[in-house]
């Protein structure tokens, strides 16, 4: 009964299994259950000792040597047949033993309840003297996030790999922030209302995004977020002006950097938003995060686009990868199956600057987590492009089990 899986037991009890319901009720009162079990156990053991001693005295007489061998033999028999072997069997097949035992122990507990209650009076008094407070069963069986992660990882044979990965990602949302998945400020496609209307029309006609950030002259003056379909009529008719764009933009939705993904997912749901602008403590724009970014962190990318076709990641003929310095470390780990540290800088450029503690020059090579990295291009005191060489036994592009 102590070795049985409590969660499987509760599941079977909810399905109406009689033995499971009895065992669950008995385990809810552990002190009484142990009382009736140990009561019977000790009666049998003491009775066996007395009976074997009487038989030995009648057969071999009263002698210290006789009593020694009787006690030695009885201890061996009790250990083998009454203690170790039954407990090993019970621990190996807890459900097969516990359910029938529950049917037997339930009426025994009712019959022996007065004795058990009397014994427990002394037990509770002794525990109070020792300043020991018994832990509630429900609290003792609760699992934290890390314990749940361990349970999911150990259920490899019971859960499909994709299901296990999604569950692990879900449990990790609390430790991941919007900074880890946002599109950085330098990579956001934006419309400047101060631009020429013809250029704005060309940008709207060629964009691959459904929503664009709109600002005027500088990023300190963000006008809002434009849903491209709301401006299509003016775009087709040739009547597109900064005023028409200003009329249909939505008010920007800001969130502070460091917001956990789980909280942000809930805020998206409550505010009915799909896009948020991430700002720092001074109110300056740091990046942009969308509902798709959060969902991709859970289930992986929705697009079927190959990594070789993406702008920030290109595979070369020799098997190496050209990667933009602004690439997110989490995304790079997921794409190439790497293990770059995630508890520091969020971008590859930041990771290299922290590792080198200097602004690197073109041609400098380093090795992070046994992965060779060559700096191909630098620009404006930042790493622009790097080359990552493949590691033996590593298949680039394969998603790891835990994103």
> DSSP characters for 234-274?
HHHHT---HHHHHHHPBPP-EEETT-BHHHHHHHHHHHT-S
Q: How far apart are the first and last CA of the chain?
A: 38
Q: Would strands 254-256 and 275-279 be described as parallel, antiparallel, or unpaired?
A: parallel
- Judge whether residue 308 has pLDDT over 50: no
- Judge whether residue 185 has pLDDT over 60: yes
Mean pLDDT of all residues in 271-297: 88
- Express as a percent the part of the chain with pLDDT over 90: 7
Q: Which residue has 């400098």 as its token pair?
A: 364
- Judge whether residue 311 has pLDDT over 80: no
Instruction: Give me the pLDDT at residue 306, please.
Output: 40
Mean pLDDT of all residues in 262-285: 89
**pLDDT tens digits for range 8-44:** 888 888 888 888 899 988 888 888 888 888 888 889 9
- Judge whether residue 403 has pLDDT over 80: no
Q: Which fold has domain 307-388?
A: 3.30.465
Mean pLDDT of all residues in 342-366: 86
Instruction: Give me the pLDDT at residue 137, please.
Output: 55
Tokens of 303: 């697009």
Instruction: Give me the pLDDT at residue 312, please.
Output: 75
Distance CA 171, CA 173 (A): 6
Which of 119, 140, 38 lies closest to 82 in space, CA to CA?
38
Instruction: Give me the pLDDT at residue 27, please.
Output: 87
What pLDDT band is residue 392 in, cutting at 50, 70 and 90? low
Q: Which residue has 């404006």 as its token pair?
A: 380
- Judge whether residue 138 has pLDDT over 70: no
Range scoring the smallest mean pLDDT among 4-13, 73-82, 384-393: 384-393
Mean pLDDT of all residues in 115-123: 85
Instruction: Give me the pLDDT at residue 398, please.
Output: 42
Tokens of 69: 């061998």
- Express as a percent the part of the chain with pLDDT over 70: 91
Instruction: Give me the pLDDT at residue 296, please.
Output: 82
Which of 327, 187, 346, 333 lies closest to 258 in space, CA to CA?
346
Question: How many CA atoms are closer than 13 Å to the CA of 209, on its beta-carbon side?
Answer: 17
Output the DSSP codes for 300-321.
--S----GGGSSSEEE-TTS-E
Instruction: Give me the pLDDT at residue 256, please.
Output: 93
User: How long, in residues, is the chain?
Assistant: 403
Output the DSSP codes for 124-174.
HHHHHHTT--PPPHHHHT---HHHHHHHHHHTTTTS-HHHHHHHHHHHTGG
Instruction: Give me the pLDDT at residue 135, please.
Output: 64
Across 140-144, 271-275, 317-321, the highest mean pLDDT is recorded for 271-275
Q: Are 313 and 327 in contact (CB under 8 A)?
A: yes
Sheet containing 183-184, strands listed edge to edge, beginning at the edge strand earlier in sequence:
183-184, 285-290, 275-279, 254-256
**Sign of the torsion angle spanned by Cα atoms 314, 396, 354, 289:** positive
DSSP state of 23: H
Q: Which residue has the higher pLDDT, 139 or 127?
A: 127
What pLDDT band is residue 254 in, cutting at 50, 70 and 90? very high
Domain ranges in the chain are 6-142, 176-299, 307-388
Instruction: Give me the pLDDT at residue 85, please.
Output: 92
- Judge whether residue 277 has pLDDT over 90: yes
Its pTM stands at 0.60
Mean pLDDT for all residues in the chain = 83
Q: Which residue has 């900064």 as its token pair?
A: 242
CATH of 176-299, one of 3.40.50.300, 3.10.580.10, 3.30.200.20, 3.50.50.60: 3.10.580.10
């Amino acid at each position: 009964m102590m070795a049985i899986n409590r969660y499987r037991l509760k599941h079977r009890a909810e399905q109406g299994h009689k033995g499971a319901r009895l065992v669950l009720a008995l385990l809810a009162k552990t002190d009484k259950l142990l009382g009736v079990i140990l009561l019977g156990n000790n009666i049998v053991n003491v009775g066996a000792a007395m009976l074997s001693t009487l038989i030995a005295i009648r057969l071999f007489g009263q002698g210290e040597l006789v009593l020694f061998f009787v006690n030695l033999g009885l201890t061996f028999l009790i250990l083998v047949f009454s203690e170790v072997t039954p407990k090993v069997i019970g621990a190996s097949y807890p459900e097969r033993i516990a359910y029938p035992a529950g049917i037997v122990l339930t009426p025994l507990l009712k019959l022996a309840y007065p004795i058990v209650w009397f014994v427990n009076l002394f037990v509770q008094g002794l525990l109070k003297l020792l300043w020991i407070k018994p832990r509630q069963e429900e609290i003792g069986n609760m699992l934290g996030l890390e314990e749940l992660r361990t349970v999911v990882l150990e259920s490899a044979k019971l859960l499909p790999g994709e299901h296990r990965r999604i569950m692990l990602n879900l449990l990790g949302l609390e430790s991941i922030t919007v900074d880890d998945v946002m599109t950085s400020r330098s990579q956001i496609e934006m419309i400047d209302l101060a631009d020429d209307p013809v250029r704005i029309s060309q940008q709207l006609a060629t964009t691959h995004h459904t929503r664009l950030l709109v600002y005027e002259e500088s990023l300190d003056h963000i006008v809002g977020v434009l849903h491209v379909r709301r401006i299509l009529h003016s775009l087709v008719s040739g009547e597109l002006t900064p005023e028409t764009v200003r009329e249909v933009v939505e008010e920007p939705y800001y969130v502070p950097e460091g917001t956990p993904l789980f909280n942000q997912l809930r805020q998206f749901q409550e505010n009915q938003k799909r896009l948020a602008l991430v700002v720092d403590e001074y109110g300056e724009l740091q990046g942009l995060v969308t509902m798709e970014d959060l969902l991709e962190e859970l289930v992986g990318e929705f697009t079927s686009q190959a990594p070789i076709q993406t702008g920030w990641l290109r595979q070369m003929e020799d098997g190496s990868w050209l990667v933009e310095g602004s690439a997110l470390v989490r995304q790079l780990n997921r794409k190439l199956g790497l293990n770059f540290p995630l508890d520091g800088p969020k971008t590859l450029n930041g990771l290299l600057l922290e590792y080198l503690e200097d602004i690197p020059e073109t041609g400098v090579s380093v090795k992070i987590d046994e992965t060779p990295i060559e700096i191909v291009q630098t620009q404006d005191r930042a790493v622009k492009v790097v080359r990552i060489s493949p590691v033996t036994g590593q298949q680039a592009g394969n998603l790891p089990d835990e994103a």
